[in-house]
């Protein structure tokens, strides 16, 4: 899970990390209200203190850390500098870093986004990045190719937990299939034959209830936001994801982060969530 093993496909590194550390992704979401809860100012100094505390507390014990890029971008170049440091230090401590950027564009612009997060020479190079396919799945090809070259991963928005997502994701195409089902089909094709796990994942909300109408067997990871503050629990995962549950990477943010700035409390919360997920999945 370090730079020396980055050429190993992301799917293989993720499978090993989840088996060793527990299947859990913890978001790094330094929004203003959470900084205030920690007794920090909503400025670059507060951002840096918050981020450093989370990385130091969790990067040596959770499988995945997921910084939300927007909360760093809002501080301009100084916020991005904090994000660069966090990515580097988290990876050095053994966590896989999933950059939650949800980028989506076409052509050379998508290529530039891919270079930002998926080129090993970039200061923001991450183990994986979230992307939006709603300019057409083919628009993601620059990111998919960059990830393949660098051994990184890509998580594609498919069935998101926000209610508004349904108007696009569950819309019917001319052939009668939903847009989300079409995206899942593309991901399954990308991951065909990969062992032990493909490197192209889907974002599928843990709060969506029964998803048996969708084929989640994409042979890749399923990033599942919604655990904790959004209302889903680890016990809900088998009912939502069915036979694909072992490939689920549950994502929790406020459920862990609200226990800061106490380092021991952050660690205890993360371990508790990971244990609960492991028990539910196994």
Radius of gyration for the alpha carbons in the chain, expressed in angstroms and rounded: 18
> Among this protein's residues, is 102 annotated catalytic?
yes
Non-local CB neighbours of 109 within 8 Å, separated by 6+ positions: none
Residues 12, 89: Cα–Cα separation, whole Å:
21
Considering the chain, what is the average pLDDT of its residues? Answer: 95
Convert the pLDDT of each residue in 91-149 to its tens digit.
999 999 999 999 999 999 999 999 999 999 999 999 999 999 999 999 999 999 999 99
Q: Where are the alpha helices (DSSP H) in 25-127?
A: 32-37, 44-58, 69-73, 77-92, 107-118
- Chain Cα centroid distance, residue 133: 15
Which entry of 52, 102, 272, 278 is annotated as an active-site residue? 102
Whether residue 5 has pLDDT greater than 70: no
Convert the pLDDT of each residue in 183-226 to its tens digit.
999 999 999 999 999 999 999 999 999 999 999 999 999 999 98
Residue 94 sits at φ, ψ, to 5 deg, of 105, -5
Question: Domains along the chain?
Answer: 3-281 (3.20.20.70)
Confidence of residue 4 (pLDDT cuts 50, 70, 90): very low
- Chain Cα centroid distance, residue 153: 10
DSSP 196-259: S--SEEEEE-TTS---TTS----SS-EEEE-BSTTSB-GGGHHHHHGGGGGGEEEEESHHHHTT
pLDDT of residue 6: 47
pTM: 0.96
């Amino acid at each position: 899970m370090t730079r020396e093993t980055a050429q190993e496909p992301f799917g293989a590194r993720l499978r090993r990390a989840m088996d060793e550390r527990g299947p859990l992704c913890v978001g790094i979401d330094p929004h203003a209200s959470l900084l205030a809860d920690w007794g920090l100012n909503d400025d670059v100094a507060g951002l840096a203190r918050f981020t450093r505390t989370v990385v130091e507390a969790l990067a040596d014990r959770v499988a995945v850390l997921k910084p939300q890029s927007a909360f760093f971008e809002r501080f301009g170049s100084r916020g991005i500098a904090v994000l660069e440091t966090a990515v580097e230090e988290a990876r050095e401590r053994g966590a896989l870093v999933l950059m939650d950027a949800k980028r989506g564009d076409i052509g050379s612009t998508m290529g530039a986004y891919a270079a930002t997060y998926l080129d090993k020479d970039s200061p923001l190079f991450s183990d994986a990045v979230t992307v939006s396919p709603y300019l057409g799945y083919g628009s993601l090809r620059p990111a998919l190719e960059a990830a393949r070259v660098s051994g990184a991963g890509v998580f594609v928005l498919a069935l998101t937990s926000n209610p508004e997502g349904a108007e696009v994701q569950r819309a019917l195409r001319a052939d009668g299939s939903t847009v989300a089902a079409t995206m899942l089909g593309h991901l399954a094709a990308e991951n065909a034959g990969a062992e032990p796990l493909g490197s192209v994942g889907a974002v599928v909300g843990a709060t969506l209830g029964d998803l048996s109408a969708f084929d989640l067997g994409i042979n890749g990871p399923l990033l599942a936001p919604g655990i904790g503050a959004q209302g889903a629990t680890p016990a809900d995962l088998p009912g939502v994801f069915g036979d694909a549950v072992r490939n689920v990477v549950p994502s929790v943010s406020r459920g862990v982060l609200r226990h800061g700035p106490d380092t021991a409390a952050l660690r205890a919360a993360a371990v508790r969530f990971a244990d609960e997920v492991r028990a539910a999945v196994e």
